[in-house]
């Protein structure tokens, strides 16, 4: 019985670790899409953030400067996305696809030019990374049977950015639903004309929304390269941006449900790792690929409207053209 609990706890802890970048990207997606800007480039931004953080941390030895660089680079990418889709009313999906392709190429090109390794950055020492931290009281509580295990193995012992991810969900909810800025942001995603009529700049609101998305994906990217791993590896975002996009839709563009969708998809990922080559009683060997594909399959089923309905913000993806 004790063994089963330990197993479950390590599984859940793995889920949290895998879900963290998804949560950052999903919150970024919520800010962007709630303001009416579709962001396919979450994937590229995670990758760009991961590269910037790992490069700067490798050169300076400071994870904090790495984090700052990742946020800066991703805010720049957000500005490009905004310039195309807000200022020039360009196709937001096309702009996002362009950013994804540019980043996937540029990270390898720059990595090669700067570090002379094929799409990799030098391996970081633990000083240059965000390392797991023990929350206060882990020692004292460890003697308590079940509760102590849960505290020390599941809640404590993650790196700082994991806790920031949880915080970002709360902050996203508070900003969107409890501040004037959030009210206007949601309004501009539903009915930009009404916001414009009220004398509020649609473009400025949307620019702020995509910049916030840049900050969040910057933290997410940092987590991938210098917290979860010890260096940047080419294409290391590996579709997590798209899974986050799916999680955002799955959570119906709401912070808390989106977070749970991230946990669900993260859990499936952890499960796939654990079930590799394992034969289950009665079922036999479950194909790992099926579990890995399940976030996408589940999202398609949800989008089809067979289980509940995922309704996007009304003006999502529609450029706002002011009449003159």
Binding residues vs other proteins (CB under 8 A)? 38, 40, 80, 83-85, 88, 90-95, 97-106, 108-110, 112-113, 118-119, 239, 242, 245-246, 249, 287, 289-290, 292-293, 296-297, 299-300, 303-305, 312
Residue 218, SS3 per DSSP: helix
State the burial class of residue 102 (Cβ atoms within 10 Å of its Cβ: 0-12, 13-18, 19+): middle
Alpha carbon distance 53, 63 (integer Å): 7
Please identify which residue in the block is written with the tokens 């996002």. Answer: 96
Alpha carbon distance 158, 96 (integer Å): 32
Closer to other proteins by Cβ: residue 183 or 290: 290
Of 213, 218, 207, 208, residue with least CA distance to 72: 218
**Minimal distance, residue 246 CB to other proteins, in Å:** 7
Closer to other proteins by Cβ: residue 102 or 150: 102
Half-sphere exposure of 199 (CA within 13 A, CB side): 0
Closer to other proteins by Cβ: residue 165 or 210: 210
Provide the token pair at 315.
């003006």
**Minimal distance, residue 97 CB to other proteins, in Å:** 6
**Minimal distance, residue 109 CB to other proteins, in Å:** 5
**Minimal distance, residue 104 CB to other proteins, in Å:** 6
Residue partners of 256: CB distance under 8 A and separation at least 6: 169, 173
Provide the token pair at 148.
């102590």
**CA 40-307-276 angle, 5° bins:** 70
CB count, 10 Å around CB of 186?
18
Closer to other proteins by Cβ: residue 180 or 324: 324
Closer to other proteins by Cβ: residue 26 or 195: 26
Residue 188, SS3 per DSSP: helix
**CA 162-246-121 angle, 5° bins:** 50
Q: Is the dihedral of CA 254, 270, 131, 77 positive or negative?
A: negative
**Minimal distance, residue 293 CB to other proteins, in Å:** 4
Closer to other proteins by Cβ: residue 121 or 159: 121
**Minimal distance, residue 145 CB to other proteins, in Å:** 41
Closer to other proteins by Cβ: residue 40 or 165: 40
**Minimal distance, residue 8 CB to other proteins, in Å:** 26
Closer to other proteins by Cβ: residue 100 or 156: 100
**Minimal distance, residue 241 CB to other proteins, in Å:** 10
CB count, 10 Å around CB of 18?
21
């Amino acid at each position: 019985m004790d063994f089963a609990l330990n197993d479950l706890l390590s599984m859940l802890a793995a889920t949290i670790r895998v879900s963290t970048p998804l949560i950052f990207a999903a919150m970024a997606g919520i800010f962007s899409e709630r303001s009416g800007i579709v962001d396919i480039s979450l994937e590229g931004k995670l990758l760009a953030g991961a590269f910037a953080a790992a490069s700067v941390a490798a050169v300076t030895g400071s994870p904090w400067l790495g984090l700052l660089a990742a946020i800066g680079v991703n805010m720049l990418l957000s500005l490009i996305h905004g310039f195309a889709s807000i200022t020039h009313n360009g196709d937001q999906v096309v702009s996002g696809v362009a950013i994804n392709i540019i980043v996937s190429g540029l990270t390898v090109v720059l990595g090669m030019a700067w570090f002379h390794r094929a799409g990799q950055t030098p391996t970081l020492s633990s000083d240059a990374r965000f390392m797991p931290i023990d929350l206060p009281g882990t020692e004292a509580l460890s003697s308590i049977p079940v509760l102590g295990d849960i505290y020390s193995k599941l809640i404590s012992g993650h790196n700082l950015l994991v806790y920031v991810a949880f915080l970002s969900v709360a902050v996203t909810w508070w900003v969107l639903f409890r501040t004037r800025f959030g009210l206007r942001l949601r309004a501009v995603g539903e009915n930009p004309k009404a916001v414009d009529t009220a004398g509020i700049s649609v473009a400025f609101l949307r620019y702020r929304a995509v910049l916030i998305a840049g900050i969040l994906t910057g933290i997410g990217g940092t987590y991938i390269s210098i917290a979860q791993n010890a260096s940047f590896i080419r294409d290391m975002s590996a579709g997590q941006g798209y899974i986050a996009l799916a999680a955002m839709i799955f959570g119906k563009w709401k912070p808390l449900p989106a977070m749970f969708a991230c946990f669900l998809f993260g859990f499936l990922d952890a499960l796939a790792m654990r079930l590799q080559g394992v034969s289950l009683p009665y079922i036999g060997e479950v194909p790992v690929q099926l579990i890995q594909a399940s976030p996408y399959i589940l999202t398609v089923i949800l989008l089809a409207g067979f289980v509940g309905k995922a309704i996007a913000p009304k003006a999502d993806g529609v450029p706002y053209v002011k009449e003159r």
